[in-house]
Structure 1
Amino acid sequence: MDKNTKAIELMKENKYEEAAAIFNEVIQEQPNDPLGYINFGNLLLHVKDPERAQRFFDKAIELDEKSATAYYGLGNLYFEQAEYKKAQVNFQQAIELGLEEADVYFMMGMTFQHQEHHKLALPYFLRATELKQDDVEMNFQYGLALAQSNLISDAKKVFEDVLSKDEKHSDAHYNLGVIAIYNEQAESALHHFNQALEIQPDHVLAANGKSQLEQLMEEKDT
C-alpha cells in the first residue's frame, strides 16, 4: 500500500492528523506531483478548512493544469460555500478534462438544482445514475429534477425505482403522493403520505399533504 492510499484509509477511519502527516510526507518527497496536494486539499475540505484547501488545489493545478480531480476538489469547495456558479465552472472543467465518475456528474446536477435550473440538471443526473445505477440518492435527485421539470410520468417511474432500492425512502413516498394528487388519484396519494409518515413521523410535508387531502376528500363526500 503506497502512502497516498494509506492516508486515504486513515481518513476513512477519521484519523485526520495521522493522514495529514502522511500527505505532508508525500508532498515533501514528491513536490512536483499534484496528487499529494489534491489529497491534502480534500482532507482540509473534510475538516472544514476551505481557505487552506483552496491553496492546495490551486497548487495542484499550477503543477498540472489538466488535473481533473483538482478541479473537482475546487468544485466541492465552492459548492459547500453555496457558490454554485463557481462550483459549476469547476465541475464542468473536471468533466471536460476526462473525469468520468458518477460523483462529478451528480454534483454538477446539484449545482443546477440549487440555481433552480432543473432541466439543465437532467442530463448530468441521468449520466450519474448510468454510472452508479444502485445509488439511491442520485436516483432520487434525478426523479426530483424530472418532477420539477414537469416530466411527471418519468419522475413517477424513477421514484418507484428508488423505492425498489430502498422501501423506507420517505421522500420518494411523499413525491409519489404529490404525483398521485396531480393524477387525481386520491387514495394512492393518501397511501404514499401515510407510508412516508410511518417511516418518518416528523415528515412535515407529508403530514401537511395528508391533512389537506383528507380535508378535500371530506368536502367532496359532503
Structure 2
Amino acid sequence: MDANQRGIEAMQQGKFEEAATSFSEAIEANPNDPINYINFGNLLSAVNELEKALKFYEKAIEIDQEAATAYYGAGNVYFNQENFHEAKKMYEKALKNGLDEADVHFMLGMCLLNIGQNRLALPYFQRAVELNEHDCDARFQYGLCLAQLDLVEEAMEQFKQVVALDKEHADAFYNLGVAYAFKENTEKAIDMLEKALNLQPDHLLAGHALKIMIENKE
C-alpha cells in the first residue's frame, strides 16, 4: 500500500494526524502528482482548515489545469465560506473538466439558489436527481424550485418521492400540505401538515398553515 492509500484509509478511520503524515510522504515522493495535493486538501477541509485546504487545491490546479476534483474541492471551500459566486465558478470548472456527478450538479444548484437565481438552479437539481435517484436533498430542492416556478403538480411529485425515500422528512410533508392547500384539497392538506408537525412539533410554518386550514374549514 502506497503513502496515498495509507492516508486515505487513515482519513476514513478518522486518524487525521496519521493521514497528514502519509499525504506529506506522498507529496515528497511525487511532488508533481496533483492527486496528492487534492487528498491533502480534502483532509484539511475535513478538519475545517479551509484556507490551507484551498492552497492545496490551487497547487493541484497549477500542476494540472484539468484536475476536476481539485476544482470541486475548491468549490466546497468557497461554499462553506459563503462565497457562492466563487464556488459557482469552481463547480462549473469541475463539470467542464468531466466531473459529471450528482454532487457537483447539486452544489451548483445550491450556489445559484444562494445568489437568487432559482430558475437557473432548476436544471442542476434535475440533473442531480437523474444521476442519483435516492438523493433526498437534491430531490427536495428540485421540488422547491418547481414550486417557486408555479409548477405545482411537478413539485408535488418530487415531494411525494422525498417522503417515500425518507418518511421523517417534515419539510417535504409541509410542502405537500401547502401544495394540497393550493389545489383546494383541504383534507389532504391538513393530513400532510399534521404529519409534518408529528415529526417536528416546533415546525412553525406547518403549525401556522394548519391553524389557517382548520379555521377556514370551520
TM-score by length of 1: 0.94
1:152 corresponds to: 152
Report the AA paired with residue 59 of structure 1: K
Matched residue pairs, number?
218
- C-alpha deviation, 1:204, in angstroms: 1.9
Cα shift at 1:68: 0.7
Render the CA deviation track for 1:74-116: whole Å, top value 9, x for unaligned.
Answer: 1111101111111101100110111111111110011011112
Q: Is the 8 A contact 1:109 1:122 kept in 2?
A: yes
Moved segments of 4+, more than 3 Å: none
- Counterparts of 1:108 and 1:3 in 2: how far apart (Å)? 33
Contact 1:118 1:146 in 2 (8 A): no
How far residue 198 of structure 1 moved from its aligned partner, in angstroms, is 0.9
Q: Give the corresponding residue for 1:139.
A: 139
Q: CA RMSD of the aligned region, Å?
A: 1.3
Change (3 A) 1:153 1:37: same
What is the deviation of 1:117?
1.2
Which residue in the other structure is 2:30 paired with? 30
1:81 maps to which residue?
Answer: 81
Q: Is residue 107 of structure 2 the alignment partner of residue 100 of structure 1?
A: no
Structure 2 counterpart of 1:189: 189
Residue 130 in structure 1 maps to residue 104 in structure 2: no
Structure 1 gaps, min length 5: none
Shift of 1:8: 2.4
- Secondary structure, aligned partner of 1:70: helix
Compare 7-16 and 91-100 and name the one that shifted more: 7-16
Residue 180 of structure 1 pairs with residue 180 of structure 2: yes
Q: Superposed, which structure 2 residues align to 1:48-59 within 5 Å? A: 48-59=48-59
SS in 2 for 1:90: helix
- Indicate whether 1:72 and 2:66 are aligned: no
Identical amino acids, percent of aligned pairs: 47
What TM-score results when the alignment is normalised by the length of structure 2? 0.95
Name whichever of 171-180 and 147-156 sits farther off. 147-156
Aligned to 2:114: 114
Cα distance in 2 between the residues matched to 1:5 and 1:195: 46
Structure 2 residue runs of 5 or longer lacking an equivalent are none
